[in-house]
Amino acid sequence: MRNHTLLTGFILLGIPQTEGLETLLFAMFSLIYFFTLLGNLLIFIAIVFSSTLHTPMYFFLGLLSMFDMLFPSVTCPKMLLYLSGQSRAISYKGCAAQLFFYHLLGSTEGCIYSVMAYDRYVAICHPLRYMLIMKPGVCVSLVTVAWVVGSLHASILTSFTFQLTYCGPNQVDYFFCDLPAVLPLSCTDSTLAQRVGSINVGFLALMLLFSVCVSYAHIGIAILRIRSAEGRQKAFSTCSAHLTAILCAYGPVIIIYLQRTPNPLLGAIVQILNNIVSPMLNSLIYSLRNKEVKRSLRKVFHSIILAVQK
């Protein structure tokens, strides 16, 4: 970021066309955010404290739960503050940090989805070699690559956005600092930054979605070759939750960044689904459909109750 900018901060105008609904939105988003944190925290605790869940599949699921706590925390607390009647101002560096961490966590989580799809591919298509292929070192390396990709992606977008000059106006017509809302405020030509942002986000999302589709194409072929109906149902049940979560994650991203003429209200609704609702749904999807997670949670609660009684 260059020091020649004349602005010291921005004003977040909030969700478009929702004037007068602040109290209702505050109550609704507070509940969603609370259950998002609670649900994903319970899954994370169950995986950490249950030795039976110390497998590659649950290692990645634990990471996903951690991301689903961090990702909405980039935008939701500030939104809840101004919905409660407090200041809508955000500092220049705070805006840059919000944009950076939003894309860092979002793109890294997208990479984790692809890694989880590959994990399911190995488990179903190469079950006898699963533990040999998905060794702890391999799992850590895949997660490291995901972090590197996310860091590079977020750094490129943030640098292109905040190397521009911002000298007014300072009102961001959105509920957080993101490329489509911040770039139009630049005093200089932002065409290059807009193109880099759209290409970068769109290309990364499509590549990750393509990798998921390739993995699940092989999985689908393998499931169809299973002779017993019970075996096919069991194999499909291990993947259905992951597929549902992927659809909830990638759909909003593609809609937002690949539309030619951005619609502020549509963009805000889709971003809310992506930022707040999807992380909450992930915790419900993985906990309600996973018997091992529910069993581990019951054991954890039972241990806590016994410890309190003593």
pLDDT at 201: 81
User: In the CATH hierarchy, which fold is given to the domain comprising 9-309?
Assistant: Rhopdopsin 7-helix transmembrane proteins (1.20.1070)
Reduced 3-state DSSP string for the chain: CCCCCCCCEEEECCCCCCCCCHHHHHHHHHHHHHHHHHHHHHHHHHHHHCHHHCCHHHHHHHHHHHHHHHHHHCCHHHHHHHHCCCCCEEEHHHHHHHHHHHHHHHHHHHHHHHHHHHHHHHHHHCHHHHHHHCCHHHHHHHHHHHHHHHHHHHHHHHHHHHCCCCCCCCEECCCCCCHHHHHHHCCCCCHHHHHHHHHHHHHHHHHHHHHHHHHHHHHHHHHHCCCCHHHHHHHHHHHHHHHHHHHHHHHHHHHHHCCCCCCHHHHHHHHHHHHHHHHHHHHHHHHHCCHHHHHHHHHHHHHHHHHHHC
197 within 8 A of 183, measured Cβ to Cβ: yes
pLDDT of residue 287: 66
What pTM does this model have? 0.87
pLDDT tens-place values along the chain, 310 residues long:
444 446 788 999 888 888 888 899 999 999 999 999 988 998 898 888 888 888 998 899 899 999 999 999 999 999 999 999 898 999 999 999 999 999 999 999 989 989 998 998 998 888 889 999 999 999 999 999 999 999 999 999 999 999 888 887 888 888 899 888 899 898 888 888 888 888 888 788 888 888 988 988 888 888 888 777 776 776 676 677 677 777 777 766 666 656 666 666 777 777 787 888 888 887 777 766 667 777 777 777 777 777 666 6
In the structure encoding, which two tokens stand for residue 35, read together?
């259950």
In the chain, where the domains are located: 9-309
> How many CA atoms are closer than 13 Å to the CA of 110, on its beta-carbon side?
31
| Amino acid 1: pLDDT | 44
- Residue 254 is predicted with a pLDDT of 65
Amino acid at 162: F
pLDDT of residue 309: 66
Give the per-residue pLDDT at 2: 47
In one-letter notation, the amino acid at residue 196 is V
Q: What is the pLDDT of residues 176-188, one digit of tens each?
A: 998 888 998 988 8
For residue 194, give both structure tokens.
Answer: 């807009």
